[in-house]
Structure 1
Amino acid sequence: MKIVRKYSMPLAISLAISACSEAPKNGVTTQNQNVAEVTTPKHSFAPLEIKYEKFTLPNGLRVIVHENRKAPIVSVGVWYHVGSKDEKPGRTGFAHLFEHLMFNGSENYNDEYFKPFELAGATGMNGTTWLDRTNYFETIPTNALDMALWMESDRMGHLLGVITQEKLDEQRGVVQNEKRQGQNQPYGKVWEQLQKAIYPAGHPYSWTTIGSMEDLSAATLDDVHEWFKQYYGAANTVLVLAGDIDMETAKEKASQYFGDIPAGPPLIKKKSWIAKRDQSSREQMYDRVAQSRLYKVWNTPGLAHEDANAIALAAAILGDGKNSRLYKRLVYQDQIATDVNIGLQQFELSSIFPIIANAKPGIELSKIEKAIDEELHRFLEEGPTEEELARVNMNEYASFARNLEQVGGWSGKGVILARGELYLNDPNAYLDALREKQDITPKQVKATSQKWLSTGDYNLEVHPFPEYTTADSGADRSKLPETGNFPSVPFPKVQTAQLSNGLKVLLAERHSVPVVDMRLQFDAGYAADQGNKLGTSSYAMSMLKEGTGNLNALEISAKEELLGARISAAADIDTSTVHLNALKVNLEDSMALFADIVMNPSFSEDEIERKRTRWIASIQQEKTRPIQMALRNLPPLLYGKDHAYSVPLTGSGTETSIQSLNRDDLVNYHQTWMRPDNATLIAAGDITMEELTKRLEQHFADWRVPEAALPQKNLPQVAHPEMSSIYLIDKPGAEQTIIIGGLLAPSEKIAEREALHMMNDIFGGTFTARLNMNLREDKHWAYGAYSFMTGAKGQQPLIVYAPVQTDKTSESLHELQKELHAYIGDKPALKEELQKVKSKRVNELPGRFETIGAVSNAIAGMITYDRPLDYMDSYAEKIREINLQAVHNLAKQTIKPDQFTWVIVGDKSKIENNIRELDIGPIIELNANGKPASGLNIN
């Protein structure tokens, strides 16, 4: 066994760039420059370091080990160096289809793959396929590591014996539904067309990862077996173990579980095929979308190319965030687009550099393209400034630092190390990239951009489709390893204090990373819109960062990026929250900015108008997306009039309400609801209560309680309807039907809250719950079918939903009805089902609060729903004490199958008659605004 012992070198990023005093070259005038000049902070930052060790088994399996004893959890990642680029024309979609088959059992555990992991409390469990790789990952309590490695190695080395024609057909149906679901979304067909256009025929990136319907239908068992034998060998795989594990343990367990798996055949690896284009080309597409959109795309070098990092910097400066050149020009200055960004996608063979811009209603795409071309030409002629480079590098540093808090998940330490090893044969590749970006000069970015972005652009125009009308052997595999006793993981102690102005302060200290998470939570939310214009709460919160008495919107954004801070403001049904996540080294300046945003929003008339167009366009987008369309209309149907929750569940309001919203409305909202006596400051991270209160007193000293009394939200109890109703929203040409059913359940504040959630988990709240097992795994009519409760102080909606193939709409609705009746009838929750969901809830605790954001969010829930601050201390015991009778009682009290309100979005011409035959209740046709359509009652 070859062992390579290696530690990453520390990375110290030092930025000391003075602000430029001359006017911005992009033509945007900065206001209040003498009042609040935005400068690059002069700090030396703590090194970013991921210690690791690496060894290779005799069969070629590469193993990376990162030891981190912060929590008794281990992230397990298995990365196979195979993706859709390894497919052949006529057999596309194979890598992704095979990923699905890997979750359907192995020779020594022929059952649903998720089951033992749910019982063990695994978190962040998933599998993904992309152009260059397929990976499987989970984070598990340390004592369940043997189980996880046994399962991962069993499907790596012992799979083919259980892949049957039945399983292949089942997962083929699931994947085809996934493809339908993706294409059913606005702009859902773009990337299939785009990849085919920018790459020559036969290029491995010229088809999408999900593949074509025809190729999926043509897949055979022999194809599946050949794919597994070709690419799923040990020598084509990287195993990463990150967390509560040391090198010797990793060597022992990797050898035990993976040592007897064959290496696999030698492979020919494609390394580079940029396919640089020399000519410009253009296509037009029509789709059921609310806004015209322009895609302007270049093929650029892959990950290992010497120009990759300079191109990434160019993408960030041109199109990442509010201070990017394109955003400032198109959205802020010219106000011709509602959004513009560059989501650079870097792969092994080549990369895709896409400028994506959404047109403001009434604006021609040609005008947007002209502005983009002008900004790009100026960038290619002049290059970036030193300050722009400093800003995007700081932003990347801050994002990277936050990712280091987790050992696994989608972006944690294990993922970073595995990517480097798989793509570049070096777990430290991230470090080289960060270093190089710090050293790259404006001149280099300019030269590289000229090289790759001067010619060869592909332009795709997407326009709204008009609404036409028609007249009329190593391990013992005989049994699964026992997980043993699960560790007890205490929730951080919650400290309390109160400022001189009455503001309540809560803190959970955690000093694992130099980051502080803070949220200022107000008892307001969408419910505070009652008696006002719908959408006021969300709109007001979104305006907080659009300018204060000291800084304009662009200055706030620039300062936020230069500090490496993240500030956001949003509302949900019951609360409105301003959130700060800050680096400890910049905490003082970050809190000053945070306080300014909270207390001194300017609500500028110009900014209100600038946002209004984009906001209305967003509402129009919601009304083209089937799920959002249903969720906008469901609450008013459930709660009726004169209830604070009778608002669109998206919180965005209506086109009419937003069109009439004015500055006085926003100022009134801020003065009425955003006050110290209606707020709680919740903090978690690298700070003490003494430090925190001292800084809060300093920055919030002028924030006082107004004389006016705090208003009360109207949350009366609402009775269930006498019978079920179906509200049908016609979406001609829809490739799927969205079925959503709702019923009012008890408040999240009830004493039996946890039992209520157990009831839902069994029915539809998890992957292996009854609904998903029926419609996805058994019938494969849907990509997923679930139930959930939204959470609310008053009665909360219990929602069941299933996006299903159009020709199975009535059958799927019948199955949902059947499951609801059975759950409170002849098939109530079973002891085994309850034990499974209880074990999942308890055993996932070691990984549930790995981040400070998760900790502060949990405390916020305690405040919202009036729970004691030591609620999590006895959480596991609360779950264990729930008995089957309590679940049965809650199910019968809560679930009323014949009193559900159903909202169905689909092609009326294809689904109406069959739904009517079910005779569930009256069928009322609505338009996208929730108003009765012409021909009011179908019945």
Structure 2
Amino acid sequence: MRPSSRSSIRFAGASLLALALPAAAHAQSAAPLPALVGEVKIPNQSFKLANGLTVVVHEDRKAPIVAVSMWYNVGAKDEPKGKTGFAHLFEHLMFNGSENLPGDTFKWLQEMGATDENGTTSFDRTNYFQTVPKAALDRALFLESDRMGYLLGAVTQEKLDNQRGVVQNEKRQNYDNRPGGMVFPTVYQNLFPEGHPYHHIPIGSMADLDAATLLDVQTWFRENYGPNNAVLVLAGDVSAAEARTLVQKYFGSIKRGPVNVPAQASVPPASPKSIVLKDKVAATSVSRWWAVPGMLDKNTQALDLAGSVLGGLASSRLSQILVRDEKLAVAVSASNGANQRVGTFSVSATVRPGVDPVVVEKRLDEIVADYVAKGPTRDELRRAATALVASQIRGLEQVGGFGGKAVALAEGQLYAGDANWYRTELQRYASVTPAQVQTAMRQWLTRPPLKLRLEQGERPASDEAKGAQSKPAGAVPAPTKRDVPPLGSFASLDFPTVERATLSNGIKVTYARRTAVPLTQLALSFDAGSASDPANARGLQALTANLLDEGAGALNAQAIAERREELGMSLNVSSSLDRTNLVSSMLSANIAPSLQLLETIVERPTFAQDDLDRLRNQTLTGIAQSQRDANGIVQRNLPTLLYGASHPYATVGAGLPDAMKRFTRNDIVSYSQAWLRPDNLEIFVVSNLPLADITRQLEARFGNWTAPAGVAKGTKAFTAAPPSVSGPRIYLIDRPNSPQSVIVGAQVTPLQSNADILAADAGADVLGGNFLSRLNSDLRETRGWSYGVGGGFSLNEKLVPYTIQAPVQADRTGESIAAINSQISDLFGSKPVTGEELERLVSNNVKSLPGQYETSAAVMSALIQNDLLGRPDDYQEKLAARYQALTTGQLVPALRAAVDPQKMTWLVVGDAAKVRPQLEKLGMPIEVITTK
């Protein structure tokens, strides 16, 4: 529903683990996989109302929040011919207000302080979810019941026309304007024949969306959204007894709907095809696709693990052979994507530039054939299953959202008729044998696949909207009046106590304890970031950091990947302008060997020439691809326009190609010695283990680490000032045949990130910082020109820029910039912040605080940002009082002091032939530039 919404895919397994395991000194002594899986529990109770609504309740009292997740048993597979995209279109319409909660649904969600609020549509279901403070549970249930039973009186022709336009812009953004965006629909159109329920993808066609009438959508709603066709899951600070009373109160009077029998579908006979697609891609990719059984089939878990071993894990066979050993590809993947009835198994490789794609296709087919013939090893399966279970443990803290406990329960109940289906899945993962995987692969992957090659070239024109057709509109029924329940008393945020320690070599440790999960989240944060790159060596920082786990000590990249998987450990490089962070999530039971591996990676990287050459090629391919993608073009060009080419913040995506080509191993080693060193490091930890245990473990691994002798610590030179701007200017980058333009307006503000900028930030929130902001409400919800518009401040250590980003349909590019400027002028002039806007902003930011810091990852992110910006440890806990003290008269002056519309730099990426005539009407200087 929101721009962050994604096409939903199956969430395998549970999101809850309750473990009490002994610390392990070595991976071999870690708890065996069956024992881990045996501890996975999401205690729940279920009941059904007389009208057929199935309710599942999981009680979790760790925080005063409740996830409310409503799943309807209707998706794209249930759409008849001529009505493709209806389920997804209705997902949007159900966010446009109901009979007793009129207006945009996000208005009511913000009033409740909701977090993780969204909706998604898949082939098999439509869901709506939000996590709300316990005090808003009545209101949240009323909201879901009102749009289930009392919706159509609020669905007007105007709303239908608007959301039709929004969905069509979503299609342009996610499929038509994105390189490779046509692969997904092409695969389903060719694997599943005409008339098969999975022949079309959930977004639907422009023509069918154009043809939708009010009567059509009313009929669609009445046939599919009754209580007997839904599952409601409540997970969090609520008991089953409380839930039964509330659900009966709000849903009990809703009448049953027609009995919906979801479309049945079987795996069709193989129809071998070879398809060549052309698009704005930098490197050719080749892939193989098979139609396979759906999620309830006994072979599904075996195929899941087969995909992980083949191309899903960092240690996968495809990675080792095609990327690391033979260097024929720069990226590979393999996975099993199971829908309810059927699924797809795919393998793919992005061809290394200069290599013949035919050679890669031949090797890909040979590797798959050999794998199917011989099967995986027991060790490979154990690592794949451990990695999967560890991933589920990391979802423990989240009660809702895209993949929390509520998702596991709802998915099982809806698809399998069993909320505890996650147990069956995980038990199968733990017990699958190599022979079972081999049998499943021989049954399904020996059939002729769909062969697809995506190569550089001109993409065929996408189908475009032609406007809604004239048909009987349908009458809007009279609304039914219901009393909206009041909100209760909201709990304050209880941010964990921040503690500190110092290792014997001076490394500072900042720590917070969270005991809900047996996990340790740890970040090694170096004072580096992309600002540490010299102006003539953009990308050196990122390349060096990414090389760390490609080889260290006696371990090569394959060995490091295997060791991480054995331990259930994740490791990601997360670089910002100001910091280089190595973020790891560890099973606390395996913290000792995990820290041992991390120590080796950070203190003894080998930076082998072979690894450097390989990663350089991968990076150059990524740079070339970003030069073809509209958003990538923005990321590569905006920093230089904003800060000036010589400023440390003028980072250019993954780097400059010319500089990347000339980096030597000596450059990498020198950078690492100057920046990735103990006297430039702070460690942040959130763990269920006490600080004393953490400090002891860290001291053993990092306490003796010393800076390299005779090498000075790196320093950043913030001497160059950003270019002065005398007036607004448009920079245009031509991207021919783009159905959508990406508009960015940006400027460096006079704000200091370590100062009190709450009033200015709140003003920016009203203008463009959330779904109900003026910019998004205008361009998306009123005009229907965009899938989503946003803007706000970026709090860097040295400078604070303000940025607005608006992807819009190409024929509205000029008008969109004019509309944005009009909204800014109105806010600064005749239409200042209203009392309603302030009330909504304060309510949302205060009430949502417990939900915002539900997880350990969120807490650690706050610790890192507080340190970067010099904030006190109690910053988060004092936010509520500071928001409540704001007045309408503070916001606009604070924002106006920071943002000057006359100093805005506009960057537009789109089809210049279509866009420039529109831009010329704005009266600003226009300069056409080429992408970096």
After superposition, the Cα gap between the structure-2 partners of 1:9 and 1:233, relative to the gap in structure 1 and judged at 3 Å, is closer
- What is the rounded CA distance, in whole Å, between the counterparts of 2:412 and 2:508 in structure 1? 45
**Residues 530, 481 of structure 1: alpha-carbon distance in 2 compared, 3 angstrom cutoff:** farther
Inter-partner Cα distance in structure 2 for 1:15 and 1:490: 28
Deviation of the 1:517 alpha carbon: 0.4
How do residues 70-109 of structure 1 correspond to structure 2 at under 5 angstroms? 70-109=62-101
Alignment of 1:124-523 (within 5 A): 124-182=116-174, 183-277=176-270, 279-465=271-457, 478-523=482-527
Distance change in 2, residues 1:545/1:762 (3 Å): same
C-alpha separation in 2, matches of 1:444 and 1:330: 26
- What are the Cα deviations for residues 587-631 of structure 1, in whole angstroms up to 9, with x where unaligned? 100011111111111111110001111100101111111122012
Residue deviations 1:611-658, cap 9 Å, x none? Answer: 11110010111111112201211111111243211222x3x1111111
Q: 1:32 matched to which residue of 2?
A: none
Query: What is the rounded CA distance, in whole Å, between the counterparts of 1:709 and 1:455 in structure 2?
Result: 61
Q: Any gaps of 5 or more consecutive residues in structure 2? A: 1-13, 461-478
Pair 14,276 (structure 1): closer, same or farther in 2 beyond 3 Å? farther
> Within 2, Cα distance between the matches of 1:399 and 1:96?
29
Query: Structure 1 stretch 106-115 or stretch 42-51: which is displaced more?
Result: 42-51
Separation of aligned partners in 2, 1:49 and 1:517? 22
Q: Conserved in 2, the CA contact under 8 Å of 1:39 and 1:559?
A: no
- Distance of 1:420 and 1:112 partners within structure 2: 31
Does residue 713 (structure 1) correspond to residue 706 (structure 2)? The answer is no
User: Which amino acid is 1:872 matched to?
Assistant: Q
Of residues 643, 653, 656 in structure 1, which corresponds to 2:655?
A: 653
Unmatched 5+ residue regions in structure 1? Answer: 1-7, 17-35, 469-474, 930-939
| Residues 340 and 719 (structure 1), Cα distance of their counterparts in 2 relative to 1, 3 Å cut | closer
Give 2:609's aligned residue.
605
Aligned to 1:25: none
Inter-CA distance 607–38: structure 2 relative to 1 (3 Å threshold): farther
The worse-fitting range, judged by mean Cα deviation, of 67-76 and 862-871 is 862-871
Per the alignment, do residues 531 and 777 of structure 1 end up closer, same or farther by CA in structure 2, a change over 3 Å counting?
Answer: closer
Letter in 1 for 2:549: K
Give the corresponding residue for 1:672. 674
Alignment-derived partner of residue 926 in structure 1: 929
The answer (yes or no) to whether the contact 1:545–1:556 under 8 Å persists in 2 is yes
TM-score in terms of structure 1 length: 0.92
Query: What code does the residue aligned with 1:674 have?
Result: L
2:10 — aligned with what? Answer: none
Partner-residue secondary structure (3-state), 1:829 = coil
TM-superposition CA deviations, 1:127-174 (whole Å, max 9, x none): 000000000000000000011000110000001112111111111011
Task: State the distance in 2 between where 1:106 and 1:251 align.
Answer: 23
**What SS class does the counterpart of residue 344 from structure 1 fall into?**
strand
Change in CA separation of 1:641 and 1:629 when aligned onto 2, cut-off 3 Å: closer
1:41 shift after superposition: 4.4
Provide the C-alpha distance between the structure 2 equivalents of 1:307 and 1:498, rounded to a whole number of angstroms.
51
Q: Which whole-Å CA distance do the structure 1 matches of 2:379 and 2:324 have between them?
A: 20
Report if aligned partners of 2:16, 2:395 keep a CA contact under 8 Å in 1. Answer: no
Moved more, 336-345 or 166-175: 336-345
Tell which deviates more after alignment, 672-681 or 689-698: 672-681
Structure 1 pair 789–91 and aligned structure 2 pair: CA distance change class (3 A): same
How far, CA to CA, are the matches of 1:565 and 1:779 in structure 2?
A: 47
Q: Equivalent of 1:798, from 802, 825, 848?
A: 802
Mean Cα deviation higher: 638-647 or 652-661? 638-647
CA shift in 2, pair 1:831/1:720, >3 Å: farther
More off after superposition, 790-799 vs 388-397 = 790-799
Q: Tell me the percent identity.
A: 38
Q: Deviations over 1:318-353 (max 9, x none)?
A: 111221111211111111111111232101221111
Are positions 1:117 and 2:104 aligned together? no
Specify the code of the residue in structure 2 equivalent to 1:250: A
In the TM superposition, residue 917 of structure 1 has moved relative to its aligned partner by 2.0
Q: Determine which of 881, 884, 891 is the counterpart of 2:888.
A: 884
Describe the shift of the 1:566–1:404 C-alpha distance in structure 2 as closer, same or farther (beyond 3 A): same
How far 1:63 moved relative to its partner? 0.2
Q: Give the equivalent residue in structure 1 for 2:686.
A: 684
User: What is the correspondence of 1:785-864 to structure 2 with a 5 Å cutoff?
Assistant: 785-864=789-868
Q: Give the deviation of 1:544 after TM superposition.
A: 0.9
Distance in 1 (alpha carbons) for counterparts of 2:30 and 2:359? 38
Mapped partners of 1:90, 1:364: distance in 2: 42
CA distance in 1, matches of 2:445, 2:202: 26
Answer yes or no: is the 8 Å Cα contact 1:10–1:47 preserved in 2: no
Structure 2 distance, partners of 1:190, 1:360, is 20
Structure 2 residue aligned with 1:30: none
CA gap 1:811/1:12 in 2 versus in 1, 3 angstroms = closer
1:52 aligns with 2:56: no
Distance 1:512 1:337, change over 3 A: same
> Secondary structure of the residue that 1:924 maps to in structure 2?
strand
Residue of structure 1 equivalent to 2:9: none
The CA distance in 1 between the partners of 2:335 and 2:737, in whole Å, is: 30
Q: Quick one: distance in 2 between partners of 1:548 and 1:711?
A: 22
1:13 CA drift (Å):
11
| Distance (whole Å) between structure 2 residues aligned to residue 119 and residue 343 of structure 1 | 41
Give the aligned partner of residue 771 of structure 2.
Answer: 767
- Matching residue's letter, 2:420: N
Is contact 1:509–1:687 with CA below 8 Å preserved after alignment? yes
Distance change >3 Å, CA 292–CA 39, structure 1 → 2: farther
Matched residues in 1 for 2:862 and 2:78: separation? 43
Offset from partner CA, 1:189-214 (integer Å, 9 cap, x none): 11122111111110010011000100
Q: CA–CA distance in 2 between the matches of 1:835 and 1:709?
A: 52
How far off its partner does 1:870 sit? Answer: 2.2
Matched letter for residue 110 of structure 1 = P
Q: CA-atom RMSD, angstroms?
A: 2.2
Give how far 1:923 is off.
1.0
Give me the TM-score of the superposition, normalised by structure 2.
0.93
Tell me the alpha carbon deviations over residues 58-102 of structure 1, each in whole angstroms, 9 at most, x when there is no partner. Answer: 111000000000000000000000000000111100000011000
| Conserved? CA contact 1:343–1:353, under 8 Å | yes
Query: Shift of the alpha carbon at 1:477?
Result: 5.1
Letter in 1 for 2:780: R
Give the residue type in structure 1 aligned to 2:784. Answer: H
Q: Aligned letter for 2:331? A: D
Cα-to-partner distance string for 1:509-560 (whole Å, 9 max, x where unaligned): 1111100101111111011013551011111111111111221111111000
Which residue of 2 is the match for residue 472 of structure 1?
Answer: none
Are residues 265 and 327 of structure 1, via their aligned partners in 2, closer, same or farther at CA, if it must alter by over 3 Å? same
Greater alpha carbon shift after TM alignment, 72-81 vs 588-597: 588-597
**CA distance, structure 2, for counterparts of residue 208 and residue 9 of structure 1:** 27
- Partner in structure 2 of residue 725 of structure 1: 729
Letter in 2 for 1:217: D
Instruction: Using the TM superposition, name which of 257-266 and 831-840 deviates more.
Output: 831-840
Kept in 2: contact 1:40–1:390 (CA 8 A) = no
| Contact preservation (8 Å) 2:101, 2:108 | no
Q: Tell me, in whole angstroms, the C-alpha distance in 1 between the residues paired with 2:838 and 2:490.
A: 18
For CA contacts below 8 A with separation 6 or more, give which structure has more relative contact order.
2
**Of 901, 909, 913, which aligns to 1:909?**
913
Name whichever of 850-859 and 628-637 sits farther off. Answer: 628-637
Post-superposition offset of 1:314: 1.1
Structure 2 distance, partners of 1:105, 1:319, is 44
